[in-house]
Amino acid sequence: AQSVAQPEDQVNVAEGNPLTVKCTYSVSGNPYLFWYVQYPNRGLQFLLKYITGDNLVKGSYGFEAEFNKSQTSFHLKKPSALVSDSALYFCAVRGNSGGYQKVTFGTGTKLQVIP
Amino acid sequence: KAGVTQTPRYLIKTRGQQVTLSCSPISGHRSVSWYQQTPGQGLQFLFEYFSETQRNKGNFPGRFSGRQFSNSRSEMNVSTLELGDSALYLCASSAWTLDTQYFGPGTRLTVL
């Protein structure tokens, strides 16, 4: 069965510092990987995705993610955090399970950027 | 372009009743997926409809069903409601099956 692990429930980072939100996955076949963000009282928003190609994927709001096949990881990164980046971040993987495709989300990581 | 809309935004039902939730996708999107979000289980995939056919499904019981109309609007039905069905139900649309998904604001279902 496919799965996604986000090992940190919360990540605290000072404004202006680089941030990393970790994600590891398990899936049969080639992974399709996504990052979504959920701001308070707002819906889930797409940040970026990896399907194939360059291991470094760039997305919205200055975020990027690094795909590492050997470590089955897809960590989200940003060089300089903003207070407005504070939100709940979800990693997701699309893969085959029991003859169907499905999307499995991680449990989410709350990012707190401290001014 | 208008985003994904879901109606109603809030619902209160009692155990044993059934409920129907509605989702209108982004214009031109043919794929509509449904998710259940709870504090304990997180975001769980229910099923996906594409061009009026259920294309993919998660691991939910048959009490959870859905359909999609020719204009891509989708409905989800939950029969014989249980207390554990209380959750935020999210709908997402995408141009292709389970590709980049655009989420609606959700329907908050409370089962008493």
| Whether B58 contacts B48, CB under 8 Å | no
> What does each C-alpha distance from A51 to A35, A86, A92, A95 come to in angstroms?
12, 26, 12, 11
Provide the shortest C-alpha distance from residue A91 to chain B (in Å): 11
Return the closest-CA partner of residue A54 out of A36, A72, A67. Answer: A67
Question: Which of B5, B9, B100, B102 is the best substitution to test chain A (most A C-beta atoms within 10 A)?
Answer: B100
* Residue A110 to residue B112: CA distance in whole angstroms: 30
Q: Distance (Å, rounded) from C-alpha A102 to C-alpha A48?
A: 18
Confidence label for A53 from pLDDT (cuts 50, 70 and 90): confident
Which residues of chain A does B57 touch, with a Cβ-Cβ cutoff of 8 Å?
100, 102
Per-position b or e across B62-75, b if 16+ CB within 10 A of its CB: eebbbebeeebebb
Does the distance separating the beta carbons of A44 and B90 come in below 8 Å?
yes
pLDDT above 90: residue A105: yes
Residue of A nearest to B58 (CA): A102
Looking at residue A107, what is its pLDDT? 95
pLDDT digits (tens, 9 = 90+) for A12-27: 999 999 999 999 999 9
Give me the pLDDT at residue A40, please. Answer: 82
Share of residues in chain A with pLDDT > 70 (%) = 100
**Per-residue pLDDT, A42:** 81
B42, A106: Cβ pair inside 8 Å? yes
Q: What is the mean pLDDT of residues A63-74?
A: 96
> In this structure, which amino acid lies at residue A58?
K
Spell out which residues of chain A touch residue B35, defining contact as CB-CB under 8 Å: 105
Statement: residue A97 has pLDDT above 80: no
The pLDDT confidence band at residue A83, using thresholds 50, 70 and 90, is very high
Which residues are within 8 A (CB) of B37 and not within 5 positions of it... i.e. 6 or more apart? Answer: B43, B44, B87, B88, B89, B90, B106
| Mean pLDDT across A54-74 | 95
Q: Is the pLDDT of residue A65 over 80?
A: yes
Q: How many CB atoms lie within 10 A of CB B99?
A: 16
Where chain B has pLDDT below 70, the residues are none
CA A35 to chain centre: 4
